[in-house]
Chains A and B, each alone.
Chain A
Amino acid sequence: MKRILILASALFLLTGCSNNWGWYVVDPTTTSGWNNLKFMASGAYYTIIMSLSAICISVIVGLLVALPGLSDKRGWRMFNRTYVEIVRAVPILVLILWVYYGLPALSGITLNVFWAGVLALALSDSAFQAEIFRAGIQSIARGQYEAAQSISLNYRDTMRYVILPQAIRRILPALGNQLVYMLKMSSLVSVIGLQELTRKANELVVSEYRPLEIYTILVLEYLVLILIVSAGVRWLERRMKASDT
């Protein structure tokens, strides 16, 4: 709350100091300003849905890639390393373009902008998720595996009931970071035309010629989204800690 107040007052000062600002474009007291604001905010739908879908997929893919990385068989570990190194090496913007324009030519599958965006974001993030999961699982003491073995739990149940619940608690802050990162990276999907926050702002700039004000609002939109996510992750961490004691 305090942070928001400081920001608001900083903005107010900026408006007062300079006659280059033209806040009328996003002035909620006028009809056109209000409509412009609504137009910009409507992009939040795709930004949120796309980021959440992508993070869900990337967590699952990341876990599936992390597990072979922990195997004592060389071949499985090689698979993990290869995946992580290759995917991590592709810039996310390039990946978005490749999935949207390249993949249909290669496979004959045409994805709409939304799913192309989700797929590219998820793919890119999955390499990082895999590393996070691997580190989290590796941090669980050997004794936990041995105890699970001593009561005959198989690999799947050991992971599901013993190792992952503990690992996920440990990597929760890192997963929160990834979600924040994902929300920001989703702005890149605007290049293939998805009507998310950044795209909406761009379109408004083209018709209104007030980039300074519009992009400032855009910054604030991301800030609000991310502050909400941060608060949510912190709440979850506290809750999980509370259930431990």
Chain B
Amino acid sequence: MLDKVGIAKRIAKEVKDGYYVNLGIGIPTLVANYVRDDIEVEFQSENGVLGMGPFPFEGEEDADIINAGKQTITTLPGASFFDSSMSFSMIRGKHVDLTILGAMEVSEEGDIANWKIPGKMVKGMGGAMDLVASAENIIVAMMHTNREGESKLLKKCSLPLTGVGCVKKIVSNLAVLEVTKDGFKLLERAPGVSVEEIQKATEGHLIVEGTIPEMKL
């Protein structure tokens, strides 16, 4: 089974040379730390920066340079700043190659819910609805089950949706899955996790074809 860092490491392998990538808050933010250093990748943050670098050294933080998680950041050579309208032109206009975000639930049809629990938590969708409505390459980083052990990979989402039919791939603590028109297709198992365990943790239709390899990190 993977921890959060493990999920981030596995997703980092999906990041290809020449990609512009938008990382959501939480596990997706960690992905930047594990991308191979022999490829060229630029990270976009929807509050208006392309070419994000690591966190600043202590004492060098700048209140005017933050990411979408409101964390202080730095920029790399070649970086640019822009306003929110242009930022979402990059996103809706499909100029961003890969979007990585978290989810509370995903359905076997690729619907995603990650912004609201009615009566309990209403933080808002931020840029997530714009991102999922437009991106052609969306990877979801998530835990396969909730704290009660109930599946978060469902036939139908129970929470208010963020977008419909948009998720293409999921990397969970148990598995890598592709969302196909027939359901969740199991691609890889997390180290030490059996197909049966994944099956048990998946409420939506799981497609298992042939031998499922264990993922390499």
A binds B: no
Q: Which residues of A contact B (CB under 8 A)?
A: none
